Amino acid sequence: MTLPSPLTGVVPPVCTPLTPDNEVDVASLERLVDHLIDGGVDGLFVLGSSSEAAYLPDGHREVVVDRVVRYVGGQLPVLAGAIDMATLRVLDHVRTAAAAGADGVVVTAPFYTRTHPAEIARHFRLVAARGELPVFAYDLPVSVHTKLDADLVLELAADGALAGLKDSSGDDGGLRRVVLGARARTDLPSFAVLTGSELTVDAALAMGADGVVPGLGNVDPHGYVRLYRYAREGDWARARAEQERLCALFRMVGVGDPLRMGASSSSLGAFKAALHLRGVIACPLTAAPQVPLSEAETEQVGKHLAAAGLL
């Protein structure tokens, strides 16, 4: 399909269900896509951080993008993460995504290697110039260990190197600088600013963001879709109430014992446990070396779902 210009609405980063022996569970993945489409989402983002892209071998990644694009069949735009350390590696992923028929790719600054603003700019320009798909910059300093500068993003957008920004930095002041900068330029009507911060979506939309990429949207797509609709209708009171309900639900990410596991195991483990408890996916396994939730921790996830009326 043609990518909306700009891309707007709710575009969840799709979790990647695994079988007990660590393969992509395609049947569960398709049920998850159904669940999201049923929720009313506006697009899908496969192979993002919430999809455990960092954990998935290239074979798994290829299965995911290929099967989701085919299953969706053009009903919705599908973005694919091309998460890797530097340009040539990213270009390989872009090629795979394009071959599978994805509608855009999501790309971070280089990581692992020590980098520089000039190299970050060069990276995005090369991916845009030689890749075959619209490029969304992915700002995730907690993983990438550099923050994308608002002025650099706008400059790349003006040069046509970027179709949008997925801002998961948690820095809403920086997000606003991009939103206002993009609006101030008449040459950027189709540049999309999407927030990845689940807890401040109403605020980001009020500031002028175009959409949201919420990890928690896997668990409750209907909630984020309602939130988005209320915001678009200017009904900020209802948007806020919906957002606050989702904030309470989001507390599930803290169920994992910090003595036993890291934040990724806990939060992605909670999302997958919730999808399992809701009957969407067959197995809540997260990819190695993440530590599984205990039974008691999974029960806590269930309580969060129940409190939100989702069980």
Interaction between residue 56 and a second copy (CB under 8 A): yes
Q: Tell me the HSE value of 197 on the side-chain side, using a 13 A CA sphere.
A: 23
Q: Which two tokens mark 157?
A: 């957008």
Nearest approach, Cβ of 188 to a second copy (angstroms)?
A: 17
- Report the site for a second copy in 18-37 (rule: CB under 8 A): 22
220 binds a second copy (CB under 8 A): no
Give the interface segment with a second copy, choosing from 33-41, 67-75, 241-249, 299-307 (CB under 8 A).
241-249
Residues forming beta bridges with residue 78, ordered by sequence position: 44
Pick the piece of the chain touching a second copy (CB under 8 A) from 33-41, 131-139, 140-148, 223-231. Answer: 140-148
- 28, 197, 218, 298: residue in contact with a second copy (rule CB under 8 A): 197
Q: Which of 116, 185, 232, 303 binds a second copy (CB under 8 A)?
A: 116
Pairwise CA distance, residues 280 & 145, whole Å:
34
In angstroms, the CA 47 to CA 107 distance is 11
Chosen residue from 35, 67, 123, 166 binding a second copy by CB under 8 A: 123
The piece of 2-10, 66-74, 85-93, 99-107 that touches a second copy (CB under 8 A) is 85-93
Q: Is residue 149 involved in binding a second copy (CB under 8 A)?
A: no
**Other C-beta atoms lying within 10 Å of the C-beta of residue 88:** 11
Q: Does 89 bind a second copy (CB under 8 A)?
A: yes
With CB under 8 A as the contact rule, the residue among 20, 73, 288, 296 that binds a second copy is 288
Determine the distance from the C-alpha atom of residue 151 to the mean position of all C-alpha atoms in its chain, rounded to a whole number. 23
What secondary structure letter does DSSP report for 101? T
Q: Closest CB to a second copy among 112 and 233?
A: 112
β 44-46/78-81 pair status = parallel
**Residue 287 DSSP class:** P
Q: Which residue, among 129, 73, 76, 128, has the nearest Cα to 106 in the 3D structure?
A: 128
> What are the two backbone dihedrals, phi and then psi, of residue 106, each rounded to the nearest 5 degrees?
-120, 125
Contact present, 208 and 191 (Cβ < 8 Å): no
Residue 241 interacts with a second copy (CB under 8 A)? no
Closest alpha carbon to 97 in 124, 150, 136: 136
In the 8-state DSSP scheme, what is residue 18?
B
In the list 55, 136, 138, 191, the residue contacting a second copy (rule: CB under 8 A) is 55
| Residues near a second copy, by CB under 8 A | 22, 49, 54-60, 83, 85-89, 91-92, 110-116, 118-120, 122-123, 126, 142-145, 170-174, 176-177, 180, 197-200, 202-203, 206-207, 236, 240, 244, 247-248, 258-265, 287-291
